[in-house]
C-alpha cells in the first residue's frame, strides 16, 4: 500500500474516531454521569459534620464537559490507530469490502482494549479505590492491556495460519477459539487482583454515636470479633475520632464509650453496590458505542454507496493504493 493510501485510511480513521468519541461522550453525559453523581453523593456523605473542605478545582459542569471532550479526543486517537491497523493488515484481512475489514479490526480492538481488561480490572466510580494504590492499579491495568493486545493478535495469527492450511468450520473455531480462551485464562491467573476492596465509604465526621455503657459483655465481644474479621473502621479512636480504633490492642470493655462512625449507606438513598455495578456496565457500554460508531462511520467513508434507480448498492472499491 502506498503512503497516499495509508494517509487516506488515517484521515478517515481520524474522522470516524471523532464521530465515535462524540457518540460515547453523549452516552457518558446522559447515562453514565447519573451513576457518577450518585457515587459523589456517597463521597459527600463522608464529610458530614466536618469543617468545610477546599472547594473543587473544577465545577461539576466543567468536569462533565471536560469528560465529553476527553471522550472525543480519545476516540480520535483510537480512530488513527484503527486506520493505521487496517492499512497495515489490509492485504491479510479477507472480507467482501472495506467495511468488512474495518469491522473485523474494530471488533478485535474492542475485545483487546476494552473487554478483556475490563473483565479483570473493571472500571469503578469515584469513592472506589485507595489513592495510595493508584500507581499499582494503573501499572497492572496497562500491563494487562498490553498482554490482551498480544493475545488477540496471536489468536488472529493462529486463525490465519489454520485458514491457509485449509481448516474451516468447527475445527478451526475450536482450535483458534480454544487457544484464545486459554490465553485469556492465563492472563487472568498471572496478573494480580485489584488491591482495593469494594466497600461503601464510612463517614469520617466526628461520630455522634457511642457504644453504650450498659451494653452486655456478650454483645461487646461479638462486636469486637466481627469488627476484627471484616477490618471494620467504623469504631473510632476516642482520642482521635477521625481515625479507626486499633482493634488488635483493645479488650471488649474498652469499647464502652467508643465513638462509632455513621455508614454512608444510611445517608444516601441509592444502594452502593448497585451504583458500582451500573457504572461498570455503562462504562463498558459507552466504549462499545464508541467502537461501533467508529467502525460504522469508517466503513461509510471507505465504502461509499451510489444510488442506481431506487436501489442503493456499494460502489466498486478502489484499489488499496488509490484511497486518498
Percent residues over pLDDT 70 in the chain:
87
* Residue-level pLDDT at 307: 43
CA distances from 255 to 226, 230, 231, 250, 284 (A): 13, 17, 15, 8, 45
**pLDDT score of 309 more than 80:** no
**pLDDT score of 312 more than 70:** no
CA distances from 68 to 29, 36, 64 (A): 7, 14, 6
**Sign of the C-alpha dihedral computed for residues 126, 127, 128 and 131 taken in this order:** positive
In the structure grid, which three cell numbers stand for residue 265, read together? 449507606
Residue 274 CA, chain-centre distance (Å), reads 16
pLDDT per residue over 215-244, tens digit each?
Answer: 898 999 998 999 889 888 888 888 887 788
**pLDDT score of 43 more than 60:** yes
pTM of the complete model: 0.76
* Residue-level pLDDT at 243: 82
pLDDT per residue over 17-29, tens digit each?
Answer: 999 999 999 999 9
* Residue-level pLDDT at 2: 53
**pLDDT score of 308 more than 50:** no
DSSP states of 20-63 as a string?
Answer: HHHHHHHHIIIIIHHHHHHHHHHHHHTTTTSPP-PPPSS-HHHH
In the structure grid, which three cell numbers stand for residue 234, read together? 467504623
**pLDDT score of 139 more than 90:** yes
pLDDT per residue over 104-124, tens digit each?
Answer: 999 999 999 999 999 999 999
* Contact partners, residue 159, CB within 8 Å, separation at least 6: 172, 176
Taking the domains of the chain in order of start, what are their residue ranges?
A: 3-128+269-322, 130-197, 209-261
Cα distance between residue 184 and residue 262, in whole Å: 42
Per the CB < 8 A criterion, the answer to whether 302 and 98 are in contact is yes
**pLDDT score of 321 more than 50:** no
**Sign of the C-alpha dihedral computed for residues 15, 17, 21 and 23 taken in this order:** positive
Per the CB < 8 A criterion, the answer to whether 74 and 293 are in contact is no
* Residue-level pLDDT at 318: 45
User: What is the DSSP pairing of strand 311-314 with strand 236-237?
Assistant: unpaired
Cα distance between residue 150 and residue 288, in whole Å: 20
* Residue-level pLDDT at 48: 59
CA nearest 117: which of 298, 230, 283? 283
* Residue-level pLDDT at 131: 83
pLDDT per residue over 120-132, tens digit each?
Answer: 999 999 888 888 8
**Sign of the C-alpha dihedral computed for residues 288, 293, 299 and 301 taken in this order:** negative
Which residue has better confidence, 312 or 82?
82
* Residue-level pLDDT at 109: 96
Per-residue confidence band for 204, with pLDDT thresholds at 50, 70 and 90: low
Amino acid at each position: 500500500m502506498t503512503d497516499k493510501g495509508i494517509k487516506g485510511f488515517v484521515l478517515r480513521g481520524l474522522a470516524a474516531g471523532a464521530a465515535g468519541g462524540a457518540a460515547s461522550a453523549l452516552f457518558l453525559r446522559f447515562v453514565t454521569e447519573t451513576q457518577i453523581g450518585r457515587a459523589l453523593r456517597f463521597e459527600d456523605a463522608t464529610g458530614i459534620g466536618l469543617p468545610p473542605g477546599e472547594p473543587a478545582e473544577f465545577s461539576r459542569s466543567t468536569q462533565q464537559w471536560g469528560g465529553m471532550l476527553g471522550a472525543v479526543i480519545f476516540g480520535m486517537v483510537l480512530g488513527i490507530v484503527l486506520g493505521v491497523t487496517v492499512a497495515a493488515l489490509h492485504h491479510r484481512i479477507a472480507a467482501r469490502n472495506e467495511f468488512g475489514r474495518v469491522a473485523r479490526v474494530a471488533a478485535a480492538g474492542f475485545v483487546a482494549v476494552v473487554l478483556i481488561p475490563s473483565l479483570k480490572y473493571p472500571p469503578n466510580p469515584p469513592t472506589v479505590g485507595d489513592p495510595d494504590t493508584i500507581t499499582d492499579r494503573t501499572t497492572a491495568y496497562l500491563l494487562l492491556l498490553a498482554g490482551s493486545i498480544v493475545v488477540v493478535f496471536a489468536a488472529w495469527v493462529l486463525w490465519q495460519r489454520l485458514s491457509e492450511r485449509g481448516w474451516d468450520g468447527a475445527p478451526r473455531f475450536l482450535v483458534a477459539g480454544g487457544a484464545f480462551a486459554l490465553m485469556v485464562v492465563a492472563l487472568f491467573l498471572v496478573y494480580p487482583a485489584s488491591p482495593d476492596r469494594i466497600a461503601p465509604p464510612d463517614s469520617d465526621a466526628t461520630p455522634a454515636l457511642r457504644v453504650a455503657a450498659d451494653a452486655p459483655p456478650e454483645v461487646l465481644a461479638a462486636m469486637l470479633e466481627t469488627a476484627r474479621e471484616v477490618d471494620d473502621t467504623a469504631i473510632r479512636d476516642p482520642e482521635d475520632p477521625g481515625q479507626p480504633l486499633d482493634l488488635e490492642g483493645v479488650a471488649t470493655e474498652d469499647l464502652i464509650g467508643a465513638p462509632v462512625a455513621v455508614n454512608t449507606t444510611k445517608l444516601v438513598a441509592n444502594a452502593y453496590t448497585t451504583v458500582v455495578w451500573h457504572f461498570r456496565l455503562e462504562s463498558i457500554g459507552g466504549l462499545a458505542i464508541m467502537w461501533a460508531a467508529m467502525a460504522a462511520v469508517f466503513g461509510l467513508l471507505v465504502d461509499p454507496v451510489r444510488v442506481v434507480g431506487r436501489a442503493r448498492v456499494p460502489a466498486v472499491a478502489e484499489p488499496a493504493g488509490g484511497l486518498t
